[in-house]
């Protein structure tokens, strides 16, 4: 069991950055999120709760670019229905991610250098695999679904150019993960496959108060490599994915209404942890439909009711092309954003979730909630 007491770290970092924030070069964000979900007793657990404390700092380098750093803390509690396992708990830092953006052509072309330091929980005990399986659900969508890895390095280019009143964007990035031992006490090293992503987007006005954004991402991932007892083998990892996104924003008097849809199509087999161990999901698709309404209350407060419906489908095996439903969820809630000062804002978040997942052919109902408090510091 790994524990880390870093709840005061985000506040400390922001406090130390305070003098520079006044100079208008630093921005900072942190939050405290808590979510808890109950499941029917057909699984090895009937409740999963997670508390996360993400934080991030960004430093503006002027015309040169900017540097961003982010990390966080997470604690997960799983209430077991199996008396031989008992309740499980896992806590610690998340991976620390860094990004350097360099303006090659200011406003048009940016070079990215990225990396992640493996400060998260990358190795767990065998009995704690059920926690990772619970967090991996696309239907629930935990705030921190990945608690750690072996780290990674990467880079790429992103750019944008005008098309009349519209703007087009493009990007190509590369990420190389590092190897790590996922299970404590086992002589097995996992090195996830490298990933190349190609991005394209388009946005602009359809009418005086109607704005559209659309984007597509093609992600190509090589096979994972496993080293065990001195022998190497490969297996299909995340596979190839096509991610598409569309949003429409409509102004209505002083209100702002946004509707969106995104879809993640996985075309190749994927190894994914579940509550009972690793499972092969040959093909899959995640579809989400959502919307929000921004309602200003005076000059400093905005209330935003929001909702999102999500569905996950997958083929039952690697020889079947038809997809079967893995579950659906509906998340509904409200955010309240209040600007305390010119450079500081706080956001209160509350949401409920209901739906179901399918496990071994059985439908398992779920329900839960998420509450959060966000702090934004901007010069």
pLDDT over threshold 70, residue 3: no
Residues 204-235: tens digit of each pLDDT: 999 999 999 999 999 998 887 877 656 666 66
Residues 41-88: tens digit of each pLDDT: 777 888 999 999 999 999 999 889 999 999 999 999 998 887 777 888
In-domain check, residue 105: yes
Quick one: pLDDT at residue 10? 36
Number of residues that make up the chain:
379
Residues 362-375: tens digit of each pLDDT: 899 999 999 999 99
* 172 class by beta-carbon count within 10 Å (0-12 exposed, 13-18 middle, 19+ buried): middle
**From residue 181, how far is each of 124, 176, 219 by CA, in Å?**
9, 17, 25
pLDDT over threshold 70, residue 37: yes
Quick one: pLDDT at residue 294? 98
In-domain check, residue 2: no
Residues 278-297: tens digit of each pLDDT: 445 567 899 999 999 999 99
Distance between CA atoms of residues 334 and 73, nearest Å:
24
> Which residues fall within 8 angstroms of residue 208, CB to CB, at 6 or more apart?
none
Cα Rg for the chain, rounded, in angstroms?
22
* DSSP β-bridge partners for residue 111: 102, 157
Quick one: pLDDT at residue 25? 86
* DSSP β-bridge partners for residue 363: 358
Distance between CA atoms of residues 208 and 211, nearest Å:
8
16 phi and psi angles, rounded to 5 deg: -65, -30
> Which residues fall within 8 angstroms of residue 329, CB to CB, at 6 or more apart?
139, 140, 141, 309, 310, 353, 354, 355, 356, 366
Residues 284-340: tens digit of each pLDDT: 899 999 999 999 998 899 999 999 999 999 887 666 667 889 999 999 999 999 999
Number of structural domains in the chain: 1
| Long-range contacts from 129-132, C-beta under 8 angstroms, 24+ separation | 129/183, 129/273, 129/277, 130/44, 130/45, 130/78, 130/80, 130/85, 130/88, 130/275, 130/276, 131/48, 131/76, 131/78, 131/88, 131/90, 132/273
In-domain check, residue 3: no
Work out the pLDDT band at 129, boundaries 50, 70, 90: confident
* 168 class by beta-carbon count within 10 Å (0-12 exposed, 13-18 middle, 19+ buried): middle
Quick one: pLDDT at residue 14? 36
Identify the residue with better confidence: 53 or 24. 53
> Which residues fall within 8 angstroms of residue 197, CB to CB, at 6 or more apart?
156, 171, 172, 173, 174, 175, 217, 218, 219, 220
In-domain check, residue 316: yes
Q: Are 269 and 282 in contact (CB under 8 A)?
A: yes
| Arithmetic mean of pLDDT over the chain | 86
Q: Are 120 and 92 in contact (CB under 8 A)?
A: yes
In-domain check, residue 215: yes
Helices (H) then strands (E): counts for the chain? 3, 22
Quick one: pLDDT at residue 311? 96
Work out the pLDDT band at 237, boundaries 50, 70, 90: low
In-domain check, residue 1: no
Distance, C-alpha 23 to centroid of its chain: 31
Quick one: pLDDT at residue 320? 66
Task: Please report where in the chains the tokens 């003098």 appear, as a residue.
Answer: 19
pTM, rounded to two decimals? 0.84
Per DSSP, the three-state class of 17 is coil
Distance, C-alpha 265 to centroid of its chain: 17
| Alpha helices by DSSP H, 22-138 | 129-135
In-domain check, residue 348: yes
Domain that residue 343 falls in: 9-377
CATH of the domain at 284: 2.40.160
Work out the pLDDT band at 109, boundaries 50, 70, 90: very high
> Which residues fall within 8 angstroms of residue 210, CB to CB, at 6 or more apart?
248, 249, 250, 251
Distance between CA atoms of residues 195 and 114, nearest Å:
13
Q: pLDDT exceeding 70 applies to what percent of the chain?
A: 85
In-domain check, residue 328: yes
């Amino acid at each position: 069991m790994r524990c880390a007491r870093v709840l005061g770290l985000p506040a400390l970092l922001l406090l130390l950055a305070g003098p520079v924030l006044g100079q208008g070069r630093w921005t900072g964000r942190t939050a405290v999120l808590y979510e808890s979900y109950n499941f029917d007793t057909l699984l090895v657990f009937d409740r999963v709760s997670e508390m996360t404390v993400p934080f991030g700092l960004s430093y503006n380098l002027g015309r040169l670019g900017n540097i961003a750093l982010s990390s966080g803390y997470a604690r997960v509690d799983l209430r077991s229905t199996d008396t031989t396992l008992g309740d499980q708990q896992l806590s610690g830092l998340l991976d620390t991610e860094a990004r350097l953006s360099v303006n090659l052509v200011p406003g048009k072309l940016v070079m990215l250098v990225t990396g992640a330091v493996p400060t998260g929980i990358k190795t767990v005990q065998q009995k704690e695999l059920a926690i990772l399986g619970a967090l991996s659900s696309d239907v629930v969508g935990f705030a921190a679904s990945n608690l750690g890895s072996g780290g990674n390095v990467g880079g790429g280019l992103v750019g944008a150019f005008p098309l009349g009143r519209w703007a087009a964007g493009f990007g190509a990035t590369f990420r190389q993960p590092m190897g790590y031992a996922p299970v404590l006490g086992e002589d097995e090293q996992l090195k996830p496959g490298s990933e190349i992503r190609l991005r394209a987007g388009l946005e602009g006005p359809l009418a005086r108060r109607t704005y559209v954004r659309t984007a597509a991402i093609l992600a190509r991932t090589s096979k994972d490599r496993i080293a065990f007892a001195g022998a190497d083998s490969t297996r299909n990892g995340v596979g190839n994915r096509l991610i598409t996104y569309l949003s429409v924003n409509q102004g209505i008097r002083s209100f702002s209404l946004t509707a969106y849809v995104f879809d993640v199509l996985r075309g190749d087999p994927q190894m994914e942890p579940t509550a009972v161990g690793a499972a092969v999901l040959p093909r899959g698709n995640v579809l989400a439909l959502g919307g929000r309404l921004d309602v200003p209350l005076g000059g400093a407060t905005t209330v935003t009711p929001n909702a999102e419906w999500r569905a996950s489908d997958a083929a039952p095996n690697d020889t079947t092309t038809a997809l079967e439903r893995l579950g659906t969820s509906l998340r509904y809630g409200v955010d309240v954003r209040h600007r305390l000062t010119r450079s500081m804002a706080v956001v209160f978040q509350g949401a409920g979730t209901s739906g179901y997942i399918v496990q071994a052919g059985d439908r398992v109902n779920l329900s839960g909630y998420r509450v959060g408090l966000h702090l934004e510091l901007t010069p």
